[in-house]
Amino acid sequence: MVKQKIVVIGNGMVGHHFLEQLANRPERAMFDVLVFCAEPRPAYDRVHLSEYFAGRSADDLAMGKVEQYREWGYDLRLNDAAVSIDREAKIVTSASGAAEAYDHLVLATGSYPFVPPIPGHQHEKCFVYRTLEDLDKIQAAARHGKIGVVVGGGLLGLEAANALKQLGLEAHVVEFAPGLMSVQLDEGGSKLLREKIEELGVTVHTSTATELIEEVDGGRLRMQFKGDKELVADLIVFSAGIRPEDNLARSAGITLGERGGIVVDNHCRTSDKNIFAIGECALFDNRIFGLVAPGYSMARTTVSLLCGDAAEFNGADMSTKLKLLGVDVGSIGDAHGRAEGSAAITFVDEQTGVYKRMITDRAGKKLRGAVLVGDTDDYDTLLQYHLNDMDLPDHPEQLILPALDGAKPTLGAGALPDTATICSCHNVSKGDIVGAVQGGCCSLADVKDATKASTGCGGCSALLKNVVDTELAALGVEVNNDLCPHFPYTRQEIFHMVQVEEIKTFDTLLHKHGRGKGCEICKPTAASIFASLWNEHIHKKPHVGLQDTNDTFMANMQKNGTYSVVPRIAGGEITPDKLIVLGQVAKKYDLYTKITGGQRIDLFGARLEELPEIWRELTDAGFETGHAYGKSLRTVKSCVGSTWCRFGVQDSVGMALAVENRYKGLRSPHKIKMAVSGCTRECAEAQSKDIGVIATEKGWNLYVCGNGGMRPRHADLFATDLDDVTLIKYIDRILMFYVRTADKLQRTSVWLENLEGGLDYLREVVIEDKLGLAEELERQMGNVVGTYQCEWKTAINDPEMLKRFRQFVNTDVKDEKIVFVEEREQRRPATREEIVKIAEPA
Amino acid sequence: MSEVAITRAEWLHVCKRSDLVANSGVCALVGGRQIALFFLPDQEPQLYAIDNWDPIADVGVISRGIVAEIGGELTVASPLYKQHYRLTDGQCLEKAEYKLVTYPIAFEGDDVLIQIDH
């Protein structure tokens, strides 16, 4: 088979989406694919660019890794811009001199920031907000400045203003138009947004035109505005809109729009049928779509066409919902009500700072647009009415009015047509979700895995849950969350019973609320709940039979029935003397030693009966149990921090020690790992942990619910620049809330994904104390902290408990069936074949 | 003339009542065999004896498993790969081909006696 060759020019988000979609098609094998990318790195997430300042690294933002492209079999040419297209010969030439023939050419060149030609705009302290390199330059300039100005009060301009604020500058926004976000918001919405943003300390100048920028004494910049006003700044960021990057197409003679942009038809084809254009360089129906979702949609259309399917791009909805400087903003459809025959319903609450406006047709039957500022809870519902052209209810005003009796008319998932888009990031329709449920997905998590719905921005999570639940109910599936056959309750319900009724033993719990005799699911769950609440020693008589082997013997059982021993090395900090003790103990008992992934030392191969002796020696030397066996706090990883590191901005070791010593012994639904990094270089990899802490110049950024393991998840930024006390307070509350409400063996990552309202809700509970629980959560944690005991220390001083560690109750002989062999100068369990060989010498 | 093999079962003393752990297991070595002993004070019978060897993991750890009721039957869950073995007859619930040997066991006063064929 002769393969066709696809050349892609540009590797931004849209270009990447094209390549990703193509890679997932069986037709992929029909093509050779080559990508020219002008930037030094493959595609990254520009939508979340500002998070770069909040501690996310270039790697975190990366979408296409070089290895991934290699795996897909693409020829990726980084740092090599395409410079000309010979349409006749069908050849693209690049800056490095490569000349590559194509059968199909895809232009994904994107756009560039527009900089108004104000005299002085080329000054070295004038920037744009587009690439990671731009952000690096802004950050460097911000270090020596006090005042930063953003020219442009659109969506991206406000993002940039927030970034300047985060960098510690006094931020100003200068907008030529009379209002902020004038494309998406009407006058009322724009006015309220301005008030809210000014409350946050950003100064807004509207109806202001800049006429001149000049350097004044001391290297600062003076901005001269029309009408004699002026402002002195240390740096200026231009964010005055984008222009399509169409130069290459222009010089190749491809048809452009009057004001630029590569003209495409509804197949994303340009005037040359072998050349496609997608994303922000493409002009469809005389419009440039400056959002990522329409670009993705164009990419999918093009992939489908190349693979032989019929596909069309028919424009895109430009509705958007976002948080700007912490202010919720939503805009749907014709937000200004420009179409003829429009009527509006407006709700304004000056007290709480909420503005909502619906634009309908004159009959009030169809929703044409909406603006929401300060509260976007109604966005999803309104958007569905708009996108699916559904008839509004009889009193449409109720859709935006506060519900007086909680009886707000919500849009039942059942009312949506199958074609309704639920997740626009991944283009998942209601029909796709229904199909997944009918195909056997029985939970929200299953549906997410199968369809990718709600795994992008997550904005559709509530609606997705609604659709999934409705569909499950329609199929007559009763969602069974029972813990096990012995308890017809969820873990959360059992937790409440135990707490409210002060139940302290499994027998009582089973007698009052359960049935039968218990099993390996409910027993350890109950033991964990008892430990979280009452914190008694796990070897206390009534709890003995409830523990898994690891908890029973306070060590981790390995494949040959021996155990590994992990003493706590808080924060990874250890004295030479203690290191020597570990070495001596390991040598004495001939234990295999290994540094773990969590900065501790694991001693393997201890026989059951050796555990107490080993632990006596370790506790004598000052070691404590590391709880490596429990569903409990494991490690708090740390980098070396400001004490030694030239880049550290805070004492990460000190904080890691404080955190580890506080939460050691806490039992939870799943094991918990944490990390503290001393600067944004993030050497402790805190963003992959349940609780991650990263130092900033001003304090600590707190990340939550990250996960390594089978399904890795980056932690979410929960709060920024916290002082020590607030940091600990928030962690207390988050962890206890998790312990109380999570399902059995549910990791924090899954817990958060299933938490209705997600991260915002968690913030409301923890920071704003929405449930009035904060004090109780802290008290509960205080109790766990206050009743800590080293389980091993208690055990070795109790002869009754020690009896448990005998290999045989009736003799002191050793278990002869445990056989070791040597490898790399240490012992390891013998394999089955090796045991046979040893038993029958030749 | 034919020979008839006669197996002689004998009650052997294993340990004291105080060597057992209520609602959990311990291990005894009897005639070279590792035997897991479970003491469940609220059940009838109270004592169970079953081979300690986990045939799937190939190690002697059954005594360290958790006692679990599955479908109305008392079992022990192997601590390594979690298969359930019925305490009364040693049958593995997940894999029909595995069945552990069980032994008659009883209290005589404070002594624990077990009956072993040999």
pLDDT in tens, A187-239: 888 898 899 889 888 999 999 999 999 999 878 999 999 988 999 999 999 99
CB–CB contact B28 A547 (8 Å): no
Q: Using alpha carbons only, what angle is made at residue A791 by residues A790 and A794, rounded to the nearest 5 degrees?
A: 90
The mean pLDDT value for A762-778 works out to 94
The range of the structural domain enclosing residue B76 comes to 18-117
Q: Using alpha carbons only, what angle is made at residue A807 by residues A801 and A808, rounded to the nearest 5 degrees?
A: 100
Nearest CA-CA distance, residue A410 and chain B, Å:
43
- Residue A69 in this model has a pLDDT that exceeds 60: yes
Question: In angstroms, rounded to a whole number, what is the distance separating the alpha carbons of residues A435 and A418?
Answer: 10
Residue A679 counted as an annotated binding residue: yes
Segment holding A349, helix H or strand E:
strand A342-349
Question: Residue A404 burial by CB count (10 A; 0-12/13-18/19+): exposed, middle or buried?
Answer: exposed
Cis peptide bond N-terminal to B45, omega within 30: yes
Asked whether residue B8 is domain-assigned, the answer is no
Asked whether residue B101 is domain-assigned, the answer is yes
Residue B48: pLDDT band (50, 70, 90) is: very high
Question: In angstroms, rounded to a whole number, what is the distance separating the alpha carbons of residues A249 and A331?
Answer: 33
User: Is residue B89 a contact partner of residue B101, using CB atoms and an 8 Å limit?
Assistant: no
All residues of chain B having their beta carbon less than 8 Å from the beta carbon of residue A559 are 57, 59, 80
CB–CB contact B60 A811 (8 Å): no
Q: Using alpha carbons only, what angle is made at residue A637 by residues A740 and A667, rounded to the nearest 5 degrees?
A: 25
Residue A37 counted as an annotated binding residue: no
Q: Report the largest interatomic distance among the alpha carbons of chain A, rounded to a whole angstrom.
A: 102
Asked whether residue B10 is domain-assigned, the answer is no
CB–CB contact A523 B79 (8 Å): no
Mutate to test the interface with A, among B12, B15, B23 (most CBs of A within 10 A): B23
pLDDT score for A318? 81
Range in A109-113, A429-433, A834-838, B28-32 the model is least confident about: A834-838
CB–CB contact A547 B66 (8 Å): yes
- The phi and psi torsions of B104 (rounded to 5 degrees) equal -65, 135
Nearest residue on chain A to B35, alpha-carbon basis: A808
- Residue A678 in this model has a pLDDT that exceeds 90: yes
What is the CATH classification number for the domain harbouring B45?
A: 2.102.10.10
CB–CB contact B66 A545 (8 Å): yes
- Residue A772 in this model has a pLDDT that exceeds 80: yes
Report which of A150, A152, A155, A240 is spatially closest to residue A189, judged by C-alpha positions. Answer: A155
Asked whether residue B96 is domain-assigned, the answer is yes
If one counts the domains in chain B, the total is 1
Question: Residue A39 burial by CB count (10 A; 0-12/13-18/19+): exposed, middle or buried?
Answer: middle
Highest mean pLDDT among A457-471, A654-668, A752-766: A654-668
Nearest residue on chain A to B14, alpha-carbon basis: A810
CB–CB contact B68 A561 (8 Å): no
The CA–CA distances, whole Å, from A682 to A142, A217, A639, B34 equal 21, 39, 8, 51
Question: Could you say which of A520, A559, A809 has the minimum Cβ distance to residue B28?
Answer: A809
The mean pLDDT value for A247-256 works out to 95
The pLDDT tens digits of the residues spanning A337-384 come to 888 888 888 888 888 888 999 999 988 889 999 999 988 888 888 888
Tell which A residues from 818 to 837 touch B, by Cβ distance under 8 Å.
818, 832
Question: In angstroms, rounded to a whole number, what is the distance separating the alpha carbons of residues A358 and A375?
Answer: 14
Range in A156-170, A352-366, A465-479, A541-555 the model is least confident about: A465-479
Interface membership of B19 toward A (CB under 8 Å):
yes
Question: In angstroms, rounded to a whole number, what is the distance separating the alpha carbons of residues A435 and A101?
Answer: 42
User: Is residue A162 a contact partner of residue A199, using CB atoms and an 8 Å limit?
Assistant: no
CB–CB contact B80 A559 (8 Å): yes
The pLDDT tens digits of the residues spanning A271-316 come to 999 999 999 999 999 999 888 888 999 999 999 999 988 888 988 8
Asked whether residue B9 is domain-assigned, the answer is no
Nearest CA-CA distance, residue A811 and chain B, Å:
7
Residue A406: pLDDT band (50, 70, 90) is: very low
The number of beta carbons lying within 10 Å of the beta carbon of residue B39 is: 22
- Residue B118 in this model has a pLDDT that exceeds 60: no
Report which of A628, A617, A625, A611 is spatially closest to residue A802, judged by C-alpha positions. Answer: A611
pLDDT score for A501? 93
pLDDT score for A457? 62
CB–CB contact A557 B14 (8 Å): no
Rounded (10°) CA dihedral A627, A631, A632, A634: 60
- Residue A419 in this model has a pLDDT that exceeds 90: no
Range in A320-329, A453-462, A597-606, A619-628 the model is least confident about: A453-462
pLDDT score for A398? 83
Report which of A77, A268, A244, A54 is spatially closest to residue A163, judged by C-alpha positions. Answer: A54
The pLDDT tens digits of the residues spanning A725-751 come to 999 999 999 999 999 999 888 899 989
The mean pLDDT value for A85-107 works out to 96
pLDDT score for A408? 54
- E strand map for A607-731: 633-638, 672-677, 691-696, 699-704, 716-722
User: Is residue A309 a contact partner of residue A138, using CB atoms and an 8 Å limit?
Assistant: no
Interface membership of B12 toward A (CB under 8 Å):
no
The mean pLDDT value for A44-48 works out to 84
Interface membership of A547 toward B (CB under 8 Å):
yes
Interface membership of B28 toward A (CB under 8 Å):
yes
The position carrying tokens 């790969």 is B81
Nearest residue on chain A to B41, alpha-carbon basis: A545
Percent of chain A scoring above 70 in pLDDT = 97
The CA–CA distances, whole Å, from A433 to A111, A444, A722, A833 equal 34, 10, 40, 50
All residues of chain A having their beta carbon less than 8 Å from the beta carbon of residue B74 are 517
Kindly give the residue spans of alpha helices, DSSP state H, lying in A311-451.
Answer: 379-387, 430-438, 444-451
User: Is residue A281 a contact partner of residue A107, using CB atoms and an 8 Å limit?
Assistant: yes
All residues of chain A having their beta carbon less than 8 Å from the beta carbon of residue B71 are 485
What average pLDDT does the structure give for chain A? 90
Mutate to test the interface with B, among A484, A486, A548, A549 (most CBs of B within 10 A): A549
- Residue A413 in this model has a pLDDT that exceeds 80: no
Question: In angstroms, rounded to a whole number, what is the distance separating the alpha carbons of residues B17 and B82?
Answer: 28
pLDDT score for B1? 42
All residues of chain A having their beta carbon less than 8 Å from the beta carbon of residue B24 are 544-545, 552
Residue A683 counted as an annotated binding residue: yes
The mean pLDDT value for A824-833 works out to 90
Segment holding A786, helix H or strand E:
helix A774-786
Residue B7: pLDDT band (50, 70, 90) is: low
Mutate to test the interface with A, among B16, B19, B64 (most CBs of A within 10 A): B64
The position carrying tokens 């109720």 is A398
Nearest CA-CA distance, residue B99 and chain A, Å:
20
Provide the 8-state DSSP code for A52.
G
The position carrying tokens 């660019």 is A49
Asked whether residue B7 is domain-assigned, the answer is no
Range in A388-402, A483-497, A680-694 the model is least confident about: A388-402
Asked whether residue B32 is domain-assigned, the answer is yes
What single string gives the DSSP state of each residue in A61-113?
HBSS-HHHHHHHT-EEETT--EEEEETTTTEEEETT--EEE-SEEEE---EEE
For A15, the 3-state DSSP assignment is: helix
The pLDDT tens digits of the residues spanning A492-506 come to 999 999 999 999 999
The position carrying tokens 């404590």 is A624
All residues of chain A having their beta carbon less than 8 Å from the beta carbon of residue B80 are 557, 559, 561
pLDDT score for A748? 94
Question: In angstroms, rounded to a whole number, what is the distance separating the alpha carbons of residues A6 and A299?
Answer: 14
Tell which A residues from 468 to 487 touch B, by Cβ distance under 8 Å.
485-486
Asked whether residue B78 is domain-assigned, the answer is yes
The pLDDT tens digits of the residues spanning A546-581 come to 999 999 999 999 999 999 999 999 999 999 999 999
Question: In angstroms, rounded to a whole number, what is the distance separating the alpha carbons of residues A178 and A661?
Answer: 55
Nearest CA-CA distance, residue B20 and chain A, Å:
8
Question: In angstroms, rounded to a whole number, what is the distance separating the alpha carbons of residues A466 and A164?
Answer: 38
Nearest residue on chain A to B79, alpha-carbon basis: A549
CB–CB contact B26 A832 (8 Å): no
Which residues fall within 8 angstroms of residue B99, CB to CB, at 6 or more apart? Answer: B89, B90, B91, B92
Mutate to test the interface with B, among A525, A810, A819 (most CBs of B within 10 A): A810
Cα-Cα-Cα-Cα dihedral sign, residues A531, A535, A536, A539:
positive
Residue A441 counted as an annotated binding residue: no
The mean pLDDT value for A155-173 works out to 89
pLDDT score for A405? 53
- Residue A401 in this model has a pLDDT that exceeds 50: yes
User: Is residue A506 a contact partner of residue A542, using CB atoms and an 8 Å limit?
Assistant: yes
The mean pLDDT value for A470-483 works out to 75
Nearest residue on chain B to A832, alpha-carbon basis: B58
Residue A467: pLDDT band (50, 70, 90) is: confident
